[in-house]
């Protein structure tokens, strides 16, 4: 794969919060996505992360109320019915193996969102959720500690990247419903 | 980009610890790699990570002694002269912005290693290093806290993935110098 194609994939892989809820994601597709993380680097090669796949409408309805959406959009309570995620991957740490996963969480989430994007699936990495609710409603084993919820679905919103202005990192939505994400310029990420 | 091509890239992107040290990496290439992380998802969109590019032989020689290599290979002190990294990216947290970066570190490291791989460059994500030494020798500003060192270079070693046996996660090197990494099977990553 060429560098420019990979860069294009990264650019296209935006966090999406509104989905075509009716269009479900096949269980096998979700399993093949989880299969990708097998190839990820892992601190001390411990590979302590596991995934609970949530794909049925019934289970999705159990997960959704536990999530908080888009902290910078205070007037928006999250996606309405019909635009909610059609699947989730619950990233869990196997606490029997370690309490210290180094940065495996982010490494794997990046592989997952990029892999999903190649299939036209949009994702949103969610850290703000009720861990106990998720654990109970999905009957997770005691040693499985939910770290992140990856919300997934076929996107029905447009997301664009803007150059950051006045160091204001807050994303926002314009009158046409387009979601704008201010990003720092590449040169500002380099320590001179 | 197709899913299978992306999966292939993930498979090929192995942690490499021996490099063709004489083959340097162009500064512009390193800048374009850092440029990739601009497109990465970021917790609260804060984008608090910065990179110090280390590419000259002189600066590489300052960084190398601060690193610990391959904890599972006790008889190996790290790459010998001529096989050391020809560049580093020092991933730093801007502590003026936050102390809590969520999983931005891993997300960006995955984007960096994959991007590097498309250019034939191998990487090793290193967490075990002397933070103070790095900070001093590279004259990092007070608010730049080194989180990870990404060692880089053109690989001169072969790395293969094996199915894990008896839950033994330790990588090892065979008599031909091939580096073996046991990985859990995809189905074992899924919580049933």
pLDDT digits (tens, 9 = 90+) for A113-157: 999 999 999 999 999 999 999 999 999 999 999 999 999 999 999
| Residue of A103, A171, A185 lying closest to B103 (CB–CB) | A103
- What's the pLDDT band for A70 if we cut at 50, 70, 90? confident
Q: Mean pLDDT across chain B, nearest whole number?
A: 96
pLDDT at A74: 86
What percent of chain B is modeled with pLDDT above 70? 100
For residue A2, list chain B residues with Cβ-Cβ distance below 8 A. 118
What percent of chain B is modeled with pLDDT above 90? 96
Flag whether residue A113 sits within 8 Å of chain B, measured between CB atoms: yes
A64-70 — which CB contacts under 8 Å span 24+ positions?
Answer: A65/A133, A66/A129, A66/A130, A66/A133, A66/A134, A66/A137, A66/A149, A67/A126, A67/A128, A67/A129, A67/A149, A67/A151, A68/A126, A68/A128, A68/A129, A69/A17, A69/A126, A70/A17, A70/A171
The CA distance from B149 to the nearest CA of chain A, in Å, is 12
pLDDT at A71: 83
| Residue of B1, B34, B47 lying closest to A190 (CB–CB) | B34
Q: Mean pLDDT across chain A, nearest whole number?
A: 96
- Residue A123: strand pairing partners: A15, A152
pLDDT at A110: 98
Which of B116, B154, B148, B114 is CA-nearest to residue B131? B148
| Residue of A51, A127, A191 lying closest to B190 (CB–CB) | A51
Flag whether residue A172 sits within 8 Å of chain B, measured between CB atoms: no
For residue B119, list chain A residues with Cβ-Cβ distance below 8 A. 3
Would you say residue B54 has pLDDT above 90?
Answer: yes
DSSP summary character for residue B80: P
For residue B3, list chain A residues with Cβ-Cβ distance below 8 A. 32, 115, 118-119
B124 phi/psi in degrees, rounded to 5: -140, 125
In the three-class reduction of DSSP (H, G, I as helix; E, B as strand; rest coil), residue B67 is classed as strand
For residue B43, list chain A residues with Cβ-Cβ distance below 8 A. 127
The CA distance from A106 to the nearest CA of chain B, in Å, is 4
**Residue ranges of A 59-88 with Cβ closer than 8 A to chain B:** 71-72
For residue B127, list chain A residues with Cβ-Cβ distance below 8 A. 43, 102-103
pLDDT at A75: 87
**Residue for token digits 């880089």?**
B152
Segment B103-132 mean pLDDT: 98
| Residue of B31, B38, B186 lying closest to A183 (CB–CB) | B38
DSSP summary character for residue B40: S
With CA atoms as reference, the chain B residue closest to A182 would be B45
Q: Is the pTM of this model over 0.95?
A: yes
Q: How far is CA B98 from the centre of its chain?
A: 23
Residue B78 to residues A109, B41, B75, B97, Cα–Cα distance (Å)? 30, 33, 9, 35
For residue A189, list chain B residues with Cβ-Cβ distance below 8 A. 34-35, 37-38, 47, 49-51
Distance CA A145, CA A143 (A): 6
With CA atoms as reference, the chain A residue closest to B9 would be A1
* A106–B103 C-beta distance less than 8 A: yes
- What's the pLDDT band for B97 if we cut at 50, 70, 90? very high
What residues have CB less than 8 Å from A150, skipping those under 6 apart?
A88, A89, A90, A91, A109, A112, A113, A123, A124, A125, A126
Would you say residue A37 has pLDDT above 90?
Answer: yes
State the angle between helix axes of B27-36 and A3-12 in degrees (0 to 180), rounded to the nearest 10: 20
Segment B150-175 mean pLDDT: 96
Segment B66-87 mean pLDDT: 93
Would you say residue A43 has pLDDT above 90?
Answer: yes
3-state secondary structure chain A: CCHHHHHHHHHHCCECCCECCCCCCCHHHHHHHHHHHHHCCCHHHCCCEEEEEECCHHHHHHHHHHECCCCCCCCCCCCCCCCCCCEEEEEEEECCCCCCCCCHHHHHHHHHHHHHHHCCCEEEEECCECHHHHHHHCCCCCCEEEEEEEEEECECCCEEEEECCCCCCCCEECCCCCEEEEECCHHHHECC
Burial (0-12, 13-18, 19+ Cβ within 10 Å), A110 = buried
Give the Cβ contact number of residue B175 at 10 Å.
5
Would you say residue B1 has pLDDT above 80?
Answer: no
Would you say residue A183 has pLDDT above 80?
Answer: yes
Kind of pairing, strands A159-163 and A179-183? parallel
pLDDT at A39: 98
The CA distance from A53 to the nearest CA of chain B, in Å, is 7
Segment B34-53 mean pLDDT: 97
Would you say residue A56 has pLDDT above 80?
Answer: yes
CB A86 within 8 A of CB A21: yes
Structure tokens at B175: 């008599």
pLDDT at B71: 83
Alpha helices in B39-100 (DSSP H): 57-63
Segment A45-56 mean pLDDT: 98
**Residue ranges of B 120-159 with Cβ closer than 8 A to chain A:** 125, 127, 140-141, 144, 148
What residues have CB less than 8 Å from B48, skipping those under 6 apart?
B42, B93, B94, B97, B98, B101, B104
Flag whether residue B163 sits within 8 Å of chain A, measured between CB atoms: no
């Amino acid at each position: 794969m060429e560098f420019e194609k990979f860069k294009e994939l990264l650019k296209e892989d935006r966090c999406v919060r509104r989905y075509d809820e009716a269009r479900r994601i096949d269980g096998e597709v979700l399993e093949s996505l989880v299969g990708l993380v097998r190839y990820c680097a892992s601190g001390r090669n411990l590979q302590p992360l596991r995934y609970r796949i949530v794909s049925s409408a019934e289970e999705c309805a159990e997960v959704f109320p536990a999530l908080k959406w888009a902290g910078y959009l205070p007037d928006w309570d999250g996606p309405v019915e019909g635009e909610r995620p059609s699947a989730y991957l619950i990233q869990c740490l196997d606490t029997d193996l370690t309490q210290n996963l180094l940065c495996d969480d982010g490494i794997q989430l990046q592989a997952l969102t990029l892999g999903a994007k190649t299939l036209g699936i949009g994702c949103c990495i969610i850290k703000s959720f009720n861990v106990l609710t998720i654990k109970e409603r999905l009957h997770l084993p005691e040693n499985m500690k939910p770290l992140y919820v990856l919300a997934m679905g076929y996107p029905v919103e447009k997301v664009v990247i803007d150059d950051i202005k006045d160091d204001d990192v807050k994303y926002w939505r314009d009158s046409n419903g387009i979601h704008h994400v201010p990003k720092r310029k590449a040169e500002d990420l380099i320590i001179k």
